[in-house]
Amino acid sequence: MTFELREGERLDDLQVRDLRIIQSKEVFSFSLDAVLLARYATLRNKDRVIDLGTGNGVIPLLLAARSAENRAEIVGLEIQERLADMARRNVQGNGLEGVINIVHGDTREALQTFGSESFDLVVCNPPYRPAGVGDQSLNEHVKIAKHEITCTLDQAMDAAAGLVRYEGKVAFVHRPDRLADIFTAMRARKLEPKRMLLVHPRPDKRPNIVLVEAIKGGRPELRIDPPLIVHNEDGSYTPAILELYAGRGELGT
């Protein structure tokens, strides 16, 4: 596999099926949130999947690693041209051109781009903070990834609800303090929350990540999965997290 690296970029090992990923300190690098979402979303063979705001394409790569014999069709949509280019080169370098398609475009215009109810699964790791909240010294790439500048939660949910077929699934990763907003936004669009997982940084800490999966047109019934702990008391990763990073663990089973 050959990767085309540009100035300031590095090649990291995803430690799953020999996959590697191009990253840069100049743009937002993927975090545990993306790994968790890629492992939590319900993925079936031959599903048509879209990742809204794909960044450098890490979630499509991890979903492809989960898909038996790479039979899922995965699209990554990214508004930032630099990140979309990085994502395309990650797909090419890993030899996944026939599985993953990276599209440079706006989540807010996704329905016009792809058509309504055209996917079986929609996943999204959206910006967590409203525009103007938090550190304003970040560069533009990081600001867009962290703040609702180009896409709000409601706009991401509009896209997800429009793109997913009836009885298809939508999975979001976000912050627990936005949970009420997430549930409200989902139900307003006939996306019924069916599964939820809270992630705690340590056993004695409050959760700082939440994963929610909904079904379009589903009946009301929410299953709360056992909590996931990221670090042991000594700061090391728990066995569950190590398994996830190795591509072997399952979430919410």
Question: Do 189 and 218 contact (CB within 8 A), yes or no?
Answer: no
Q: Residue 138 pairs with which residues in a beta bridge?
A: none
On whether residue 2 sits in a domain, the answer given is no
Average confidence score pLDDT of the chain: 90
CA dihedral 127, 63, 205, 212 (to 10 degrees): 70
Pairwise pLDDT comparison (249 vs 121), residue with the higher score: 121
Q: Is the pTM of this model over 0.75?
A: yes
Element counts in the chain: helices (H) and strands (E): 8, 13
Q: What's residue 227's pLDDT?
A: 96
| 250: in domain | no
Query: Has residue 253 been placed in a domain?
Result: no
Asked whether residue 252 is domain-assigned, the answer is no
Judge whether 220 lies within some domain.
Answer: yes
Give how far Cα 69 sits from Cα of 16, 23, 73, 128, Å. Answer: 14, 26, 11, 34
CATH number at residue 128: 3.40.50.150
Residues 159-184: tens digit of each pLDDT? 999 999 999 999 999 999 999 999 99
Q: Is residue 88 part of a domain?
A: yes
- Inform me whether the pLDDT recorded for 242 exceeds 70: yes
Spatial contact of 49 and 120, defined as CB atoms under 8 Å apart:
yes
**Number of residues assigned to the chain:** 253
- Residue 222 structure tokens: 């929410």
Range of the domain at 119: 9-245
Structure tokens at 107: 């989540």
When divided into structural domains, the chain yields a total of: 1
Please report whether residue 14 resides in a domain.
Answer: yes
pLDDT at 132: 59
Q: What is the pLDDT of residues 185-221, one digit of tens each?
A: 999 999 999 999 999 999 999 999 999 999 999 999 9
Predicted pLDDT at 145? 57
Helix (H, G, I), strand (E, B) or coil at 15: coil
Assigned domain for 251 exists: no
- The phi and psi torsions of 148 (rounded to 5 degrees) equal -80, 65
